Amino acid sequence: MKRKIIIDCDPGHDDIMAILLSLAHPEEIEILGYTTVCGNQLVEKVTRNLCQVLTAIHREGKIAVGYDAPLYYAPDPQPLAHGESGLDGPQLPEAKIAPLAIHAVDFLKQQLEQSEEPVTLVALAPLTNLAVFLKTYPQLKEKIAMITLMGGAIGKGNILPKAEFNIYEDPHAAKIVFESGVPIVMSGIEVCDDCSILHSEIDALKGSGPIQDLAHEILQFFSRYSRERGKDRSPLFDVAPIMHLLHPEYFISRPASVQVEVAGQYTRGMTVVDQREGVSQKQLNTELLLSCDREKFIQCFLEGLAWLDKN
């Protein structure tokens, strides 16, 4: 059965890769729309990026703009990873599509109310929109099949030694989401490390077709950081939750108890994964992805890009 999803995002190089993979699987995934939020860059910029990319690949899409700041902390854009635009690298056309005149939270309400079956929320950014939605319309939780999110870590960090960016950026929102009672699937840094693309695989995209060329330009920029550090591969963070929807069999996971540190002196945004034995059933709020078969993951990802060029 086709799964209905809404993608909450801050495009963002890897967000765009995740969206491309979703679009490459219309038999399995129906994208009801996109909600945007402040994260990698301010919300105006990431929304413009999404409109421009959809224009570039000749796609339509419903886009609703969400929050322009986290619930409590100030925005903390990441030009080092994503550039001043939030999607530096590719030359993109002027956008021919515009966002809807509805706030992301109201769009979520509208879509969930209209859908006969539960909708999967794919969260690829700080969780501000989803937290406000859950607090404002708790009666609609039953219309959410699950929230599958890229964020957090078991023990690693990227923005801080022990915190991942999406959770760090708005930990108060993340706490609301993890404590909401909605089924959560978490793609943290560790599993995303398994879902890396070799730089030689990025290079091979060039000249294979317009969408693969666009992916090449986007990933060339995104991989600068890893290349400069002498690595042979770069993570594709946000692609993991979409791949898990398509191919859960590529992943190993386990139920876990995850809590969010909102204000630690050194640990703001840390996801505290309880690794002790005997955690009670009641505390198991998250399906935690532990590892992934990289070869299968990348094959499916690259086939998706090639499919988009032919369809």
Residues that bind ligand BDR (CB under 6 A): 12, 14-15, 40, 78, 81, 124-125, 150, 158, 164-166, 237-238
Q: Regarding beta strands 63-65 and 271-273, do their DSSP bridges make them parallel or antiparallel, or are they unpaired?
A: unpaired
Q: Tell me the residue number closest to ligand BDR, measured at CB.
A: 165
- Please say whether the dihedral angle defined by the alpha carbons of residues 17, 293, 78 and 201, taken in this order, is positive or negative: negative
Q: Which does 148 bind (CB under 5 to 8 A by kind): ligand BDR, Ca ion, none?
A: none
Q: Which is nearer to Ca ion, 11 or 99 (CB)?
A: 11
Among 8, 15, 169, 194, binds Ca ion (CB under 5 A): 15
37 binds Ca ion (CB under 5 A): no
| Backbone torsions φ then ψ of 47, nearest 5 degrees | -70, -45
| Backbone torsions φ then ψ of 304, nearest 5 degrees | -60, -45
Q: Which is nearer to ligand BDR, 14 or 217 (CB)?
A: 14
Q: Which is nearer to Ca ion, 10 or 164 (CB)?
A: 10
Helical segments of the chain, H only: 13-23, 43-56, 79-82, 104-114, 128-136, 165-169, 171-178, 189-194, 199-203, 210-222, 224-228, 239-246, 294-310
Give the residue from 64, 43, 68 showing the smallest Cα distance to 109. 64
Q: Which does 208 bind (CB under 5 to 8 A by kind): ligand BDR, Ca ion, none?
A: none
Q: Which is nearer to ligand BDR, 109 or 238 (CB)?
A: 238
Burial group, residue 249, by CB count within 10 angstroms (0-12, 13-18, 19+): exposed
- CA torsion, ordered 33, 36, 39, 44, to nearest 10 deg: 140
5 binds Ca ion (CB under 5 A): no
CB of 196 to ligand BDR, least distance (A): 13
End-to-end CA distance of the chain: 21
Q: Which is nearer to ligand BDR, 67 or 237 (CB)?
A: 237
Q: Which is nearer to Ca ion, 124 or 131 (CB)?
A: 124
Question: How many H-runs (helices) and E-runs (strands) does the chain carry?
Answer: 13, 12
12 binds Ca ion (CB under 5 A): yes
Among 125, 202, 219, 273, binds Ca ion (CB under 5 A): 125
119 binds Ca ion (CB under 5 A): no
Q: Which does 190 bind (CB under 5 to 8 A by kind): Ca ion, ligand BDR, none?
A: none
CB of 288 to ligand BDR, least distance (A): 16
